[in-house]
């Protein structure tokens, strides 16, 4: 993400700025048994840790927010 920001900010007041990224844990809920659990996106097959179901709803992990912008 920093690489794209560096490219997009060239020639602007934001050039040379750095991004501080804090990852939000990815949580899913099984549509079969309603168990909620953490997800590792690097795992090739994601399934419910309780029943093995593969119909899942994403609860968190896609969102992002900007907490602060500092300008010097």
**Assigned CATH topology for domain 23-64:** Rubrerythrin, domain 2 (2.20.28)
pLDDT (0 to 100) of residue 67: 76
Give the integer Cα–Cα distance in Å for 43 and 13: 39
Query: Is it the case that residue 4 has pLDDT exceeding 80?
Result: yes
CA dihedral 3, 6, 7, 11 (to 10 degrees): -170
- Using one digit for the tens of pLDDT, what is the confidence trace for 8-67? 999 998 899 888 888 888 999 999 999 999 998 777 889 999 999 999 999 998 777 777
Question: Rounded to two decimals, what is the model's pTM?
Answer: 0.61
pLDDT (0 to 100) of residue 42: 79
Query: Is it the case that residue 72 has pLDDT exceeding 70?
Result: no
pLDDT (0 to 100) of residue 47: 92
């Amino acid at each position: 993400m920093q690489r794209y920001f560096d490219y997009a900010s060239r020639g602007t007041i934001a050039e040379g700025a750095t991004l501080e990224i804090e990852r939000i844990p990815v949580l899913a809920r099984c549509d079969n048994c309603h168990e909620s659990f953490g997800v590792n996106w690097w795992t090739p097959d994601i399934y419910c840790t309780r029943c093995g179901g593969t119909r899942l709803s994403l609860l968190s992990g896609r969102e992002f927010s900007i907490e602060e912008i500092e300008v010097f």
